[in-house]
Chain A
C-alpha cells in the first residue's frame, strides 16, 4: 500500500469538507474493497476519510412501508434486522450472503453501491426495489444511479447518506456464486411492487454491470410464478464471457436464478 493520510470524519459535513480538501481523497466506509485494492496498489488515494464514526450515516428505520438504511450500515446489521426481514425479506437474504461473516461486520451498503462492482449483490437489490439513493446533494433513482461497470452518477466528493426503499409486496434474491471467489457469477433480484409492477435486476452477468431484464419483468407481471419463465430465452449478446462462464451459460443462469428468486419470494 502506498502512503496515505487518514482522517476520521465526525459528521456528513465534516466528511465532505475533508474529502474536498484534496483532489485525490477517497471516502473509506467498511474498506472491504478499497483497502484490498490499495494493498494491490490498484488505488492510491492521498487521503482517506473514514465514515465509520459518522452517526448520521448509520441505522435502519422502517415505518409505514418506508425503509431507510443509512449508508454506513453494515451488511451484518441489514442481515440481522428483524424490521428488514419482515418489510423486505429478499434484501435481508441478500445482505446475509455477501462475502463472509467478517466482511459483513465491516462492509456497508453505501460502500457497495458507490463501488458498483459488476458482481456485487446490492446493486441488483436496489435496482429491482426501485430504491432512491440519497446523497449530501440530491436524491437519485436507482435506474439513474448505476451508470456502468464500477461507475455511478456520483460526482466528485458527493457522499451517499442513505438508501430509501418502499417495501415491496414480494421480494427474493438468488445467486450462483463463483465456486472459488464466491462473487455472484449471476445474481437475480425480483421485486413485486404495491402497484402490481415487477422489477427484475441482474448482477454478475452484464458486460455493463447491473441491468434490468425486461422479458422476465413482463412475464412475471402477468403471472408471478417461476413457471411463467419456462418459455423465456435470455439474450446473451450483452452478457460477460470469461474463464468462469460463457455468455450463453450466464444467460441460462439469469433464467434459473430468476426462477429461484421468484420461488424464494413466495
Chain B
C-alpha cells in the first residue's frame, strides 16, 4: 500500500491506496471528485485530463503514487468565488458540449493549451492541440469556437490586469 499526499485544487489531501492505483481512481474514489471522467481507459480519449504540477496529463495513465507530493488541479478547481472560469463560461456560451462526458477533459486541455500558447491561438492550432481529446457528439466545431473565444477574452483580461 502507498501513502499518498498531494495538493488537489489548493487543498492538502492524503490517503492510502494500492501502488497500482491510478491517479484518476484516487481522485474519483478516494477524494470523491467525480468531475474527472474515465472515458476509454486506454490513454486515448482525454476525458481524464487533469493538471499535475501545471501540466495537462492523462490521469488514467499515471499512478497516484507518481503524483505523491504534486500539485493537482481538476475541473472542480477551476471556478472561483462562484464564477465560472473563462473557458468554462465560453463552453457554455458557445454550446461546446452535448452529452458533456468529454467536457472536463476538453476544458482542462483548453486551459493548458491557452497557457502554453500565451493566448495566441488560431483555429488550426486549436484543432491540432485537441488531438488527445475525443468528442463523439459535437463534431468539435463549437469546442474550437469556445477555446478561441476564451483565449481572446483571457488575453484581454491579462492586458487589463497589466495596465
Q: Do A and B come from one complex?
A: yes
Q: Hey, which bits of chain A sit against chain B, CB under 8 A?
A: 1-6, 8, 28, 31-32, 35-36, 38-40, 48, 50, 52, 76, 99-103, 105-106, 182
When the two chains form their complex, are residues A182 and B131 in contact, meaning their CB atoms are under 8 A apart? Answer: yes
For residue B55, give the distance in angstroms from its CB to the closest CB of chain A.
4
Provide the residues of chain A in CB contact with B22, threshold 8 Å: 35
Q: Tell me if B20 counts as interface (CB < 8 A to partner A).
A: yes
Of B58-66, B76-84, B93-101, B151-159, which stretch is located at the interface? Answer: B58-66
Q: Tell me if B90 counts as interface (CB < 8 A to partner A).
A: no
Q: Mark B1-38, 1 if CB is under 8 A from A, else 0.
A: 01000000000000000111010000000000000000
**CA A116 – CA B22 in complex, angstroms?**
25
**CA A230 – CA B110 in complex, angstroms?**
43
Please, which residue of chain B has its CB at the minimum distance from the CB of A47? Answer: B19
Q: Among the listed A1, A52, A103, A106, which residue makes an inter-chain contact with B20, where contact means beta carbons less than 8 Å apart? A: A1
Dominant secondary structure at the B interface: mixed
When the two chains form their complex, are residues B20 and A2 in contact, meaning their CB atoms are under 8 A apart? Answer: yes
Please, which residue of chain B has its CB at the minimum distance from the CB of A103? Answer: B132
Q: Hey, which bits of chain B sit against chain A, CB under 8 A?
A: 2, 18-20, 22, 41-43, 46, 49, 55-58, 61-63, 65-66, 68, 109, 112-113, 116, 129, 131-133
**CA A106 – CA B112 in complex, angstroms?**
14
Provide the residues of chain A in CB contact with B131, threshold 8 Å: 100-101, 182
When the two chains form their complex, are residues A4 and B43 in contact, meaning their CB atoms are under 8 A apart? Answer: no
Provide the residues of chain B in CB contact with A4, threshold 8 Å: 19-20
Provide the residues of chain A in CB contact with B49, threshold 8 Å: 102
**CA A102 – CA B43 in complex, angstroms?**
9
**CA A35 – CA B25 in complex, angstroms?**
14
**CA A76 – CA B55 in complex, angstroms?**
10
Q: Among the listed B55, B66, B109, B116, which residue makes an inter-chain contact with A31, where contact means beta carbons less than 8 Å apart? A: B66
**CA A61 – CA B133 in complex, angstroms?**
33
Provide the residues of chain B in CB contact with A3, threshold 8 Å: 18-20
For residue B43, give the distance in angstroms from its CB to the closest CB of chain A.
5
Given contacts A31-B62, A36-B61, contact A103 B43 (CB under 8 A): yes
For residue B23, give the distance in angstroms from its CB to the closest CB of chain A.
10
Please, which residue of chain B has its CB at the minimum distance from the CB of A96? Answer: B128
When the two chains form their complex, are residues A101 and B43 in contact, meaning their CB atoms are under 8 A apart? Answer: no
Provide the residues of chain A in CB contact with B61, threshold 8 Å: 31-32, 35-36, 103, 106
A-B contact pairs, 21 of them (CB 8 A): A3-B18, A3-B19, A3-B20, A8-B65, A31-B62, A35-B22, A35-B43, A35-B63, A36-B43, A39-B41, A39-B42, A52-B66, A100-B133, A101-B112, A101-B129, A101-B131, A102-B46, A102-B49, A103-B58, A106-B58, A106-B61
